[in-house]
A and B are shown apart, each in its own frame.
Chain A
Protein backbone atom coordinates (compact mmCIF):
# COMPACT_ATOMS: atom_id res chain seq x y z
CA UNK A 1 0.00 0.00 0.00
CA UNK A 2 1.10 3.59 -0.53
CA UNK A 3 2.24 5.81 2.27
CA UNK A 4 1.77 9.04 0.37
CA UNK A 5 -1.08 10.48 -1.59
CA UNK A 6 -0.41 13.13 -4.21
CA UNK A 7 -2.81 15.82 -5.16
CA UNK A 8 -3.82 16.56 -7.83
CA UNK A 9 -3.58 13.31 -9.78
CA UNK A 10 -3.18 15.26 -13.02
CA UNK A 11 -2.22 18.85 -13.76
CA UNK A 12 -2.14 20.68 -17.09
CA UNK A 13 -0.54 24.10 -17.39
CA UNK A 14 1.05 26.42 -19.94
CA UNK A 15 4.76 27.02 -20.23
CA UNK A 16 5.92 29.73 -17.88
CA UNK A 17 3.26 29.00 -15.27
CA UNK A 18 4.02 27.54 -11.86
CA UNK A 19 3.01 24.01 -10.94
CA UNK A 20 2.23 22.95 -7.38
CA UNK A 21 1.85 19.35 -6.31
CA UNK A 22 0.96 18.20 -2.82
CA UNK A 23 1.74 15.03 -0.95
CA UNK A 24 0.23 13.74 2.27
CA UNK A 25 1.58 10.81 4.24
CA UNK A 26 0.45 8.76 7.19
CA UNK A 27 3.27 7.97 9.61
CA UNK A 28 6.28 9.82 10.99
CA UNK A 29 9.25 10.04 8.66
CA UNK A 30 12.99 10.68 8.61
CA UNK A 31 13.00 12.23 5.16
CA UNK A 32 10.70 12.89 2.25
CA UNK A 33 11.93 12.75 -1.30
CA UNK A 34 10.50 13.83 -4.63
CA UNK A 35 11.15 11.97 -7.86
CA UNK A 36 10.35 12.65 -11.50
CA UNK A 37 9.57 9.97 -14.05
CA UNK A 38 9.37 10.64 -17.76
CA UNK A 39 7.06 8.30 -19.61
CA UNK A 40 8.47 4.78 -19.67
CA UNK A 41 11.75 5.82 -18.06
CA UNK A 42 13.40 5.43 -14.69
CA UNK A 43 12.95 7.64 -11.66
CA UNK A 44 15.09 10.73 -11.32
CA UNK A 45 15.77 12.02 -7.84
CA UNK A 46 14.83 15.69 -7.51
CA UNK A 47 15.17 16.70 -3.89
CA UNK A 48 15.31 15.29 -0.37
CA UNK A 49 13.98 17.18 2.62
CA UNK A 50 14.70 16.01 6.12
CA UNK A 51 12.08 15.90 8.85
CA UNK A 52 13.72 18.82 10.69
CA UNK A 53 13.65 21.04 7.59
CA UNK A 54 10.68 23.15 6.55
CA UNK A 55 11.71 24.33 3.11
CA UNK A 56 14.32 23.49 0.52
CA UNK A 57 15.20 24.92 -2.86
CA UNK A 58 16.95 23.45 -5.88
CA UNK A 59 16.97 25.54 -9.03
CA UNK A 60 13.34 26.03 -10.08
CA UNK A 61 12.14 23.57 -7.45
CA UNK A 62 10.86 24.50 -4.02
CA UNK A 63 9.80 21.86 -1.54
CA UNK A 64 8.07 22.45 1.76
CA UNK A 65 7.43 20.02 4.56
CA UNK A 66 4.90 20.31 7.36
CA UNK A 67 5.38 17.39 9.71
CA UNK A 68 2.49 18.50 11.93
CA UNK A 69 0.12 18.09 8.98
CA UNK A 70 2.10 15.21 7.48
CA UNK A 71 2.22 16.97 4.15
CA UNK A 72 4.69 18.27 1.60
CA UNK A 73 4.45 20.35 -1.52
CA UNK A 74 6.58 20.60 -4.63
CA UNK A 75 6.54 23.87 -6.54
CA UNK A 76 8.03 24.06 -10.02
CA UNK A 77 8.41 27.67 -11.11
CA UNK A 78 8.44 28.93 -14.69
CA UNK A 79 7.57 25.50 -16.03
CA UNK A 80 8.85 24.22 -19.36
CA UNK A 81 7.56 21.60 -21.76
CA UNK A 82 10.47 19.40 -20.63
CA UNK A 83 8.94 19.33 -17.14
CA UNK A 84 6.14 17.14 -18.50
CA UNK A 85 6.40 13.96 -16.43
CA UNK A 86 4.96 12.12 -13.45
CA UNK A 87 6.08 13.33 -10.04
CA UNK A 88 6.14 11.07 -7.00
CA UNK A 89 6.75 11.80 -3.37
CA UNK A 90 8.43 9.02 -1.44
CA UNK A 91 8.72 8.45 2.29
CA UNK A 92 10.17 5.84 4.58
CA UNK A 93 8.90 2.32 3.96
CA UNK A 94 9.23 1.50 7.64
CA UNK A 95 10.33 3.20 10.85
CA UNK A 96 13.94 2.33 10.16
CA UNK A 97 13.63 3.96 6.79
CA UNK A 98 15.04 0.89 5.12
CA UNK A 99 13.44 1.64 1.78
CA UNK A 100 11.07 4.05 0.09
CA UNK A 101 7.36 3.85 -0.36
CA UNK A 102 5.84 5.96 -3.10
CA UNK A 103 2.67 7.97 -3.40
CA UNK A 104 0.36 7.57 -6.38
CA UNK A 105 1.98 10.44 -8.24
CA UNK A 106 0.91 13.56 -10.09
CA UNK A 107 1.03 13.62 -13.87
CA UNK A 108 2.11 17.06 -15.04
CA UNK A 109 1.55 18.19 -18.59
CA UNK A 110 3.15 21.46 -19.71
CA UNK A 111 2.10 22.75 -23.09
CA UNK A 112 3.94 25.35 -25.14
Chain B
Protein backbone atom coordinates (compact mmCIF):
# COMPACT_ATOMS: atom_id res chain seq x y z
CA UNK B 1 0.00 0.00 0.00
CA UNK B 2 1.19 3.47 -0.88
CA UNK B 3 2.18 5.92 1.84
CA UNK B 4 1.60 8.86 -0.46
CA UNK B 5 -1.96 10.11 -0.03
CA UNK B 6 -3.71 12.15 -2.69
CA UNK B 7 -7.01 14.00 -2.44
CA UNK B 8 -9.48 14.19 -3.96
CA UNK B 9 -9.58 10.89 -5.82
CA UNK B 10 -11.91 12.38 -8.42
CA UNK B 11 -12.48 16.00 -9.40
CA UNK B 12 -14.75 17.50 -12.03
CA UNK B 13 -14.24 21.17 -12.71
CA UNK B 14 -15.37 23.77 -15.19
CA UNK B 15 -12.93 25.72 -17.29
CA UNK B 16 -13.42 28.84 -15.18
CA UNK B 17 -13.05 27.12 -11.82
CA UNK B 18 -10.15 27.23 -9.41
CA UNK B 19 -9.41 24.00 -7.60
CA UNK B 20 -6.47 22.27 -5.92
CA UNK B 21 -5.08 18.77 -5.76
CA UNK B 22 -3.38 17.78 -2.53
CA UNK B 23 -0.66 15.29 -1.73
CA UNK B 24 0.75 14.23 1.61
CA UNK B 25 3.52 11.89 2.69
CA UNK B 26 4.83 11.07 6.15
CA UNK B 27 7.90 9.09 5.18
CA UNK B 28 10.27 11.99 5.82
CA UNK B 29 10.99 12.31 2.13
CA UNK B 30 12.46 15.59 0.95
CA UNK B 31 11.74 15.24 -2.78
CA UNK B 32 8.22 15.38 -4.18
CA UNK B 33 6.89 15.16 -7.72
CA UNK B 34 3.84 15.77 -9.86
CA UNK B 35 3.25 13.60 -12.91
CA UNK B 36 0.41 13.72 -15.42
CA UNK B 37 -0.90 10.59 -17.10
CA UNK B 38 -3.32 10.43 -19.99
CA UNK B 39 -5.24 7.25 -20.74
CA UNK B 40 -3.08 4.42 -22.10
CA UNK B 41 0.05 6.58 -21.91
CA UNK B 42 3.00 6.60 -19.51
CA UNK B 43 3.25 9.21 -16.76
CA UNK B 44 4.89 12.47 -17.79
CA UNK B 45 6.91 14.61 -15.42
CA UNK B 46 5.48 18.02 -14.53
CA UNK B 47 7.26 19.36 -11.44
CA UNK B 48 9.94 18.33 -8.96
CA UNK B 49 10.43 19.82 -5.50
CA UNK B 50 13.52 19.32 -3.37
CA UNK B 51 13.57 20.53 0.22
CA UNK B 52 10.40 22.55 -0.46
CA UNK B 53 11.99 24.40 -3.39
CA UNK B 54 10.96 23.97 -7.01
CA UNK B 55 13.75 22.11 -8.77
CA UNK B 56 12.20 21.26 -12.12
CA UNK B 57 9.30 22.73 -14.08
CA UNK B 58 8.96 20.66 -17.21
CA UNK B 59 7.55 23.53 -19.30
CA UNK B 60 4.14 23.19 -17.70
CA UNK B 61 1.52 25.85 -18.58
CA UNK B 62 0.97 28.48 -15.92
CA UNK B 63 -2.62 27.34 -15.38
CA UNK B 64 -0.96 24.64 -13.25
CA UNK B 65 0.65 26.15 -10.16
CA UNK B 66 2.51 23.90 -7.72
CA UNK B 67 3.08 24.70 -4.08
CA UNK B 68 5.07 22.94 -1.38
CA UNK B 69 4.04 24.48 1.97
CA UNK B 70 6.17 22.06 4.00
CA UNK B 71 8.18 18.90 3.61
CA UNK B 72 5.10 16.65 3.89
CA UNK B 73 2.68 18.47 1.63
CA UNK B 74 2.52 19.19 -2.07
CA UNK B 75 -0.35 21.01 -3.76
CA UNK B 76 -1.23 21.56 -7.38
CA UNK B 77 -3.43 24.60 -7.93
CA UNK B 78 -5.58 24.52 -11.04
CA UNK B 79 -7.07 27.53 -12.79
CA UNK B 80 -8.63 28.07 -16.20
CA UNK B 81 -7.94 24.53 -17.33
CA UNK B 82 -8.84 23.12 -20.72
CA UNK B 83 -10.68 19.86 -21.46
CA UNK B 84 -7.41 18.39 -22.76
CA UNK B 85 -6.00 18.74 -19.22
CA UNK B 86 -8.29 15.93 -18.13
CA UNK B 87 -6.00 13.18 -16.88
CA UNK B 88 -4.77 11.23 -13.87
CA UNK B 89 -2.47 13.41 -11.78
CA UNK B 90 0.06 11.44 -9.79
CA UNK B 91 2.03 12.66 -6.83
CA UNK B 92 5.22 10.92 -5.78
CA UNK B 93 7.98 11.26 -3.24
CA UNK B 94 11.49 9.98 -2.61
CA UNK B 95 14.07 10.29 0.14
CA UNK B 96 16.08 12.83 -1.84
CA UNK B 97 16.85 13.61 -5.46
CA UNK B 98 20.01 11.51 -5.31
CA UNK B 99 19.19 8.75 -7.79
CA UNK B 100 22.66 7.32 -7.63
CA UNK B 101 21.98 5.92 -4.19
CA UNK B 102 19.22 3.72 -5.51
CA UNK B 103 16.53 6.07 -4.37
CA UNK B 104 13.05 4.69 -4.98
CA UNK B 105 10.21 6.99 -5.96
CA UNK B 106 6.85 6.12 -4.38
CA UNK B 107 3.59 7.10 -6.02
CA UNK B 108 0.16 7.88 -4.70
CA UNK B 109 -3.07 6.51 -6.14
CA UNK B 110 -3.61 9.64 -8.18
CA UNK B 111 -6.37 12.18 -8.64
CA UNK B 112 -8.63 11.78 -11.64
CA UNK B 113 -9.35 15.20 -13.09
CA UNK B 114 -12.11 15.90 -15.59
CA UNK B 115 -12.39 19.38 -17.07
CA UNK B 116 -15.78 20.18 -18.58
Contacts and interface: CB of A to CB of B under 8 A. Distances in A.
Category for how many chain A residues contact B: 20 to 34
A102 B104 contact: no
B109 A97 contact: no
Nearest to A97: B99
Nearest to B108: A42
A105 B42 contact: yes
Interface string B94-116: 00011110111111111010000
Nearest to A93: B45
B105 A45 contact: yes
A33 B92 CA distance: 14
Nearest to A1: B44
Interface string A1-43: 0100000000000000000000000000011010100001111
A31 B101 CA distance: 9
Nearest to A92: B99
A45 B104 contact: yes
Interface of B: 2, 4, 6, 33, 41-45, 48, 55-56, 88, 90, 92, 97-100, 102-110, 112
A-B residue pairs, 4 tightest by C-beta: A97-B99, A102-B42, A42-B109, A43-B107
